[in-house]
């Protein structure tokens, strides 16, 4: 079979001359030719003869390949970059002719291995260089958009391509969970592409095949977009001057976060090394993008944490700094939020020679609950200054909260006023657990009583009516007001502390220490609760107020 230079032409941009160094293979062919009195030639991908004396920049010699010559291709990464040609020798005996042809094949194999080694080395050097630069970007952090722009420049440079774009999925995209995920891709960086091309809503490939395969982790290539049957917009490709395509997905921790699309303005085949390189670049870019996102989220979290700590400190300052002092009433209170900002609150304050005791719980946690707690406390205090009618105070507070909150926001409140002289207590209940009244019976045994009263939570219905109740306190009594964080405290077996255990812990302690102070009773309740729940995390705030009536 006659071979011509055109038969060996490969218009892919790769050439045997790319691996030309000292002409060792050509010299080997020439030496064997003289030794065996046979012509063995090294030819490039265009069929030009490469003599050992040629300089790298000088093209080879044009020489027809005779009929019957044995041509063994030199293959690198599945691409033929040239051939070793053994001329026919009619005068040789069959054994000698077979040996010469075998030598030619061995030379071609050796050349293929040498070029493959050089190709692999070059690929590794490029890969290491690119990954080093990407690692530097990763260490520096910075904005995701800036980082991906530099990554795109790097990819185009190392792969000798002309244009490209990086498209990202939304940050909350969960991964390839449905067939339309590629519709969510949004441009993050682009180089060498016109706005008309970038803003064109029509995808490059039919049914977005290129993006779909890229997001699935595949490397997608096209030698000529205008002739590719998968391409949906060949005319637009020609107008934009885009011919070849190379793309793949940016995958981090098995989750696609975007795609990288690269273009050449001339027809080109992409080697396996180039396909592997773009995959490595895409994976490193994905890691860099995720690192930048993580750093941004960490910075945001630190700012938020500082803000929450400040808000929590402000909230704590709204609790009573000092308990009111009365000869016949001893007070103790404690508030333990489950988060930086909680929804529980208590207040102990004097108003018109009366002692106000307030315990409340806002639905929910966090900033919203904390703000609502502060507003409710301030509102109730303001109305308490204006009226001794506790039911009227609660009605006004309810209407104010109703006006300023949504349907899902409400508050439970127990509010009482104690006359330090007569020890008469008036109180009103708004959806809150009624306090315990601990006193001795006629036989001298401690008993726990739940104060009567009920009412709707605050902030649900306007103009709601609330009933004011009264209770006569006596020397030796203990008033225990609390939120459900106390009774709902849970251990590792998911058992709740509950009200019976609360009563039992108080009664047992008072039997042991009948003259216990309000602070000692408060400490005992928290100690009993902690003994029960152990190290289990608690989901709710814990608030407790103890008032002891002294002799």
Q: In this structure, are residues 369 and 410 in contact, taking their beta carbons and an 8 Å threshold? A: no
Candidates 176, 188, 187, 177; CA nearest to 289 is 188
pLDDT (tens, 9 = 90+) of the chain, 551 residues, equals 333 434 434 334 467 777 766 678 888 888 888 877 788 888 888 888 888 777 766 777 888 888 888 898 888 877 788 888 888 877 777 777 788 788 888 888 888 888 877 777 776 777 677 667 766 665 565 567 777 888 888 889 888 899 999 988 886 554 443 445 556 788 888 999 999 999 888 999 998 999 989 988 899 999 999 999 999 999 999 999 999 999 999 888 888 888 999 999 999 888 887 888 898 888 888 877 777 777 677 777 777 667 656 655 655 666 677 889 999 999 999 988 876 666 788 999 998 889 999 999 988 666 677 778 888 888 898 999 888 899 999 999 999 989 888 777 889 999 999 999 999 999 999 999 999 999 999 899 999 999 999 999 999 999 999 999 999 999 999 999 999 989 999 888 889 999 999 999 999 999 999 999 999 999 999 999 999 988 877 767 889 999 999 97
> In whole angstroms, how far apart are CA 42 and each of 34, 61, 212?
15, 11, 44
State the Cα–Cα distance between residues 155 and 255, nearest whole angstrom. Answer: 21
356 and 505 co-located in one domain: yes
What is the rounded end-to-end Cα distance, in angstroms, of the chain? Answer: 123
Is the domain of 43 the same as that of 174?
Answer: no
d(CA 349, CA 359): 12
For residue 360, what are the β-bridge partners?
345, 413
Cα-based angle 274, 272, 47 (whole degrees, multiple of 5):
95
Residue 105 and residue 161 share a domain: no
Report if residue 360 sits inside a domain: yes
User: Looking at the domain assignment, is residue 300 inside a domain?
Assistant: no
Rg (the chain; Cα; Å): 42
**Overall number of domains in the chain:** 3
End position of a domain, from candidates 229, 261, 295? 295
Q: Which of 94, 122, 150 is the last residue of a domain?
A: 122
Residue 544 forms part of a structural domain: yes
Asked whether residue 485 is domain-assigned, the answer is: yes
Does residue 301 belong to any structural domain of this protein?
no
3-state secondary structure of 73: strand
Q: State whether 238 and 343 are in the same domain.
A: no
> Distance between CA 169 and CA 34 in Å, rounded?
64
Claim to verify: residue 240 and residue 322 sit in the same structural domain: no
Query: Does some domain include residue 232?
Result: yes
Examine the domain organization and report whether 89 and 11 are in the same domain. Answer: yes
The predicted model scores a pTM of 0.51
Contact 479, 499 (CB under 8 A): no
Q: CATH number of the domain at 159, please.
A: 3.30.450.40
Closest among 197, 210, 189, 270 to 238, alpha carbons compared: 197
Domain for residue 337, yes or no? yes
130 occurs within a structural domain: no
Tell me the residue range of the domain where 249 lies. Answer: 141-295
CATH number of the domain to which 40 belongs: 3.30.450
Phi, psi of 440 (to 5 degrees): -85, 145
CATH number at 440 reads 3.60.40.10
Residues 111 and 145 in one domain: no
Same domain, 282 and 374: no
Same domain, yes or no: 544 and 474: yes
Distance CA 47, CA 508 (A): 104
Do residues 306 and 283 touch, judged by C-beta distance below 8 A? Answer: no
Asked if residue 360 and residue 327 are part of one domain, the reply reads yes
Q: Which of 295, 310, 338 is the last residue of a domain?
A: 295
Instruction: Say if residue 369 is in the same domain as residue 516.
Output: yes
Judge if 70 and 161 occupy the same domain.
no
């Amino acid at each position: 079979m006659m071979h011509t230079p055109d038969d060996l032409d490969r218009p892919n941009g790769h050439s045997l001359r790319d691996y030309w160094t000292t002409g060792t293979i050509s010299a080997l062919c020439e030496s064997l030719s003289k030794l065996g009195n046979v012509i063995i030639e090294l030819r490039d991908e265009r069929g030009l003869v490469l003599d050992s004396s040629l300089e790298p920049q000088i093209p080879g010699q044009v020489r027809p390949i005779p009929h019957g010559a044995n041509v063994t291709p030199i293959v690198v990464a599945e691409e033929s970059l040239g051939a070793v040609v053994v001329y026919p020798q009619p005068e040789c005996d069959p054994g000698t002719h077979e040996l010469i042809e075998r030598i030619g094949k061995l030379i071609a194999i050796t050349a293929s291995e040498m070029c493959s080694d050089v190709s692999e080395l070059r690929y590794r050097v490029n890969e290491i260089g690119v990954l080093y630069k990407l690692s530097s970007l990763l260490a520096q952090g910075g904005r995701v958009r800036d980082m991906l722009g530099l990554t795109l420049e790097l990819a185009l440079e190392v792969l000798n391509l002309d244009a490209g774009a990086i498209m990202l999925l939304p940050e909350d995209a969960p991964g390839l969970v449905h067939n339309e995920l590629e519709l969510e891709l949004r441009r993050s960086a682009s180089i060498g592409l016109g706005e008309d091309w970038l803003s064109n809503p029509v995808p490059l490939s039919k049914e977005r095949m290129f993006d779909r395969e890229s997001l699935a982790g595949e490397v997608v290539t096209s030698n000529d977009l205008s002739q590719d049957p998968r391409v949906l917009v060949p005319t637009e490709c020609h107008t934009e001057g885009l011919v070849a395509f190379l793309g793949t997905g940016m995958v981090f921790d098995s989750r696609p976060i975007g795609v990288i699309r690269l273009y050449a303005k001339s027809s080109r085949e992409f080697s396996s090394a180039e396909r592997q390189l773009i995959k490595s670049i895409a994976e490193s870019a994905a890691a860099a993008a995720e690192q930048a996102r993580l750093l941004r989220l960490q910075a945001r979290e630190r700012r938020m944490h500082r803000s929450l700590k400040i808000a929590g400190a402000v909230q704590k300052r709204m609790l009573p700094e000092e308990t009111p002092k009365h000869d016949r009433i001893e007070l103790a209170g404690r508030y333990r939020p489950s988060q930086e900002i909680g929804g529980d609150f208590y207040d102990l304050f004097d108003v018109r020679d009366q002692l106000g005791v307030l315990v409340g719980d806002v639905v929910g946690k966090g900033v919203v609950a904390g703000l609502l707690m502060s507003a409710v406390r301030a509102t109730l205090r303001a109305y308490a200054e204006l009226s001794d009618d506790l039911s009227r105070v609660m009605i006004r507070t309810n209407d104010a909260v109703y006006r300023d909150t949504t349907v899902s926001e409400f508050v439970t409140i127990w509010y009482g006023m104690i006359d330090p002289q007569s020890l008469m207590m008036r109180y009103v209940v708004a959806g809150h657990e009624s306090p315990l009244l601990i006193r001795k019976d006629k036989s001298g045994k401690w008993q726990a009583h739940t104060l009567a009263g009920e009412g709707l939570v605050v902030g649900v219905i306007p103009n709601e009516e609330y009933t004011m109740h009264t209770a006569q306190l006596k020397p030796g009594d203990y008033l225990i007001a609390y939120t459900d964080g106390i009774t709902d405290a849970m251990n590792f077996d998911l058992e709740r502390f509950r009200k019976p255990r609360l009563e039992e812990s108080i009664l047992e302690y008072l039997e042991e220490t009948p003259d216990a102070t309000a602070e000692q009773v408060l400490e005992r309740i928290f100690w009993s609760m902690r003994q029960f729940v152990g190290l289990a995390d608690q989901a709710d705030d814990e608030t407790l107020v103890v008032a002891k009536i002294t002799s």
